[in-house]
Structure 1
Amino acid sequence: MPLRFQKKVFPIHFLNLSGDEFERLVFASLFRMHAWHTLDWFGQTGGDDGKDIIGVRDNWYGDPETVVFACANWKAFTSTKGISDIDKIVASLAHPPAEIVIVVGSNVSAETKEKCIAHAKSKGVDAVQIWAGTEFEEQLRFHADSVLRRFFEGEELPRESGAIRELVAELDPSDDKEAGALVARLFIRPAFMTPIWGESSLPAFSQAIGDTINALNTGIWRDREGALISRICPGHLFSNATVKNSLSKTVKALIQLRMDFDTGLQQGLIRSLSSEPDGPYFQIEPVLSRKLESTRQKALKLVNSALRELGVPLLDV
């Protein structure tokens, strides 16, 4: 029987990178982790007031929230450094951000994390994360393995933020697992997580269903204004037959969901209670609400069937 050799995965030594290289790697990887309205890298220009990268994305309620990333590729990261960065970030903004994430290239003790998190909360920042080098590596390998491979196999990332954004949007996933993570990201947003009766924007809900159908069919995910968010692997291009079949059925369920929603509007089963048609207050007949919820749950279960096959964490259903 022939011997089989396993490819060994060595840990990444981020401390070998310059501060600029580390920030570029963080910036590029973030495009694969979330769907951003805007994501700007300030570290390249200097004078960043502690905030190397600032992003705006939707929270669970569909409202925009600001997330600030501070990159600290230090050999020994201390709570003094973390607290200093937090103070600079809060002082530089009109309002505290929704979340601060400090990305560190080395180890970080639990005590240091606790001190930084407690200090940030005392400054009005509700969500705080400190990624040690190993935790950032986990994020990279799961969400942005293609970026990681390109970077550490000798192909330098562009130096300008716009060029990095374009590169990541066009970069093919390195394997089916990364491709599956990009598909999962389509569904981690309010249109698929908020109860139907709790929706705050009917137009946004309808748009989200439509752009998800389009992304699964074409591989191109666009935001509400038509700007490219990222490219994903279309359902029909996955090699695994189970994945391909599950995603095909997901599209059919989403099409049914959109048809039922549109029919409800036409038949008056969904009525706006706001002074403006697109306002946040509306009434939906219970029978239609249950039908929409059931169809959406069916779509999410089908997606989970594909994600399970790909080894990607499942969506909450």
Structure 2
Amino acid sequence: MASTVHPIHFEDYSGIQFERLVFAYHVRAGWRDLVWHGQCGGDQGRDISGIEDFDDRPARRTIIQCANRDTLTLAKARTDMEKAVAAVGGKPDAFKFVCRGAVSDAGRTRIGEAAAVLGVKHVTIWSSVEFEENLRLRAEYLLHRFAQGVEFPEAEADIRKFVDDFPDLSDADALGLMAAVFDRPAFHTPFHQESSLPAFQQAIEDTIGALNTGVWRTREGTEIRRIPSIHHIRDQRVRKVLAQVVRQVDELRRIFVARLREGEIRHCQCGRPDCPTYMLSPRVAGELDDARDRILTLFRSVHAPFDVALR
């Protein structure tokens, strides 16, 4: 019998419980330098701050607001953003609002415009539905614990340990966490004859390391966070498939290195030493896309909810 997934009623939980879940999610999602200002008091319009890393663009220092209310009003959002911009530490690169309720398209537009007036170009707004979707994608076991009344620790350090440990984690939950390493441009951006490849090989090597050891790092070698490794998986059949996934990721790396050496992948001729553009023959672009598609398809064979695919 198919089971029904019921939405989480965030309104049933206190503001501090909601903030704990938001903080725990961003720890699990790999944000760096997270600070829970709301726990310390005197937050100056900042509930949580942290740095979000990207593979294909600069990291963003972001202020996260936990809107534990039915409606996120423009007045409230603007007041919090003004306080945050004036706070010690200076203007952030982005604002993010995680809301308990729904947010209209018009409301999102007005809040984005208010942020732009303050000199902040990037604004992300999650309704309760969007927050829950991301929790189910990247941290479903945290959502299960939250909904089942498991009390999250109060201190930041204890929450980090709570998130990084994997007690009684099912294989399905472990695979859900492992799936995050494939949600990056190195695996879902199709190759063209002109492609931006500033750190493709490093991203592939980092993925192999994360699957084998559970340590996920940025391209500079900084540890992002810990995830379950192949060795956490109890089902022997699934472990064998994951070992095959790792071999296929390594084969993708080998193809890239070999074609680079053979000249079918080459740096563009613009003369700029920092130019990220590479030229690929149509044959190699197809070969690399096929290799990635096999990897994603194989991982999906043991984790049906996996939705990363070549775009």
Place the TM-score, normalised by the shorter chain, in its bin: 0.7 to 0.9
Question: Could you tell me how far apart the structure 2 residues matched to 1:293 and 1:36 are?
Answer: 33
2:10 maps to: 14
C-alpha distance 300-51 of structure 1, shift in aligned 2 (>3 A): farther
Alignment partner of 1:312 out of 268, 287, 306: 306
Question: Could you tell me how far apart the structure 2 residues matched to 1:71 and 1:110 are?
Answer: 19
State the secondary structure of the residue aligned to 2:61: strand
C-alpha distance 259-52 of structure 1, shift in aligned 2 (>3 A): same
Question: Could you tell me how far apart the structure 2 residues matched to 1:286 and 1:24 are?
Answer: 46
Provide TM-score, normalisation by structure 2.
Answer: 0.77
Tell me the amino acid that sits aligned with residue 308 of structure 2: L
Q: Is the 8 A contact 1:58 1:189 kept in 2?
A: no
C-alpha distance 131-110 of structure 1, shift in aligned 2 (>3 A): same
State the secondary structure of the residue aligned to 1:69: strand
Question: Could you tell me how far apart the structure 2 residues matched to 1:7 and 1:285 are?
Answer: 48
Q: CA deviation at 1:271?
A: 7.2
C-alpha distance 294-238 of structure 1, shift in aligned 2 (>3 A): farther
1:227 maps to: 223
Q: Is the 8 A contact 1:76 1:106 kept in 2?
A: yes
Answer yes or no: is 1:302 the counterpart of 2:264.
no
Deviation sequence 1:85-117 (CA, Å, 0-9, x none):
2222333353441x3221122343444333213
Q: Is the 8 A contact 2:53 2:60 kept in 1?
A: yes
1:119 maps to: 114
CA RMSD of aligned residues (A): 3.8
Answer yes or no: is 1:155 the counterpart of 2:153.
no
**Structure 1: gaps of 5 or more residues:** none
Question: Could you tell me how far apart the structure 2 residues matched to 1:316 and 1:123 are?
Answer: 37
1:187 maps to: 182
C-alpha distance 307-66 of structure 1, shift in aligned 2 (>3 A): farther
Q: CA deviation at 1:37?
A: 3.4
Answer yes or no: is 1:23 the counterpart of 2:15.
no
2:98 maps to: 103
Provide TM-score, normalisation by structure 1.
Answer: 0.76
Question: Could you tell me how far apart the structure 1 residues matched to 2:56 and 2:24 are?
Answer: 26
Deviation sequence 1:212-238 (CA, Å, 0-9, x none):
112223444344436361213528937
Within a 5 Å distance, the mapping from 1:222-301 to structure 2 comes to 222-223=217-218, 224-225=220-221, 227=223, 229-234=225-230, 237=233, 239=235, 247-262=242-257, 280-281=274-275, 286=280, 291=284, 294-295=287-288, 297-301=290-294
Question: Could you tell me how far apart the structure 1 residues matched to 2:45 and 2:217 are?
Answer: 31
2:204 maps to: 209
| Deviates further, 145-154 or 257-266 | 257-266
C-alpha distance 226-128 of structure 1, shift in aligned 2 (>3 A): closer
| Deviates further, 171-180 or 212-221 | 171-180
Question: Could you tell me how far apart the structure 2 residues matched to 1:299 and 1:236 are?
Answer: 24
Question: Could you tell me how far apart the structure 2 residues matched to 1:144 and 1:283 are?
Answer: 35
State the secondary structure of the residue aligned to 1:310: coil
Tell me the amino acid that sits aligned with residue 310 of structure 1: A
State the secondary structure of the residue aligned to 2:101: coil
Identical positions, percent: 32
| Deviates further, 60-69 or 219-228 | 219-228
Tell me the amino acid that sits aligned with residue 34 of structure 2: L
Q: CA deviation at 1:81?
A: 0.8
Deviation sequence 1:219-268 (CA, Å, 0-9, x none):
44344436361213528937495x66664443223222333455567788
Q: CA deviation at 1:21?
A: 1.8
| Deviates further, 42-51 or 123-132 | 123-132
Alignment partner of 2:159 out of 158, 164, 186: 164
Question: Could you tell me how far apart the structure 2 residues matched to 1:233 and 1:141 are?
Answer: 19
State the secondary structure of the residue aligned to 2:141: helix
Alignment partner of 2:45 out of 39, 50, 61: 50
> For this pair of structures, how many residues does the alignment match?
305
Deviation sequence 1:164-201 (CA, Å, 0-9, x none):
12221123685555444423321233444565965464
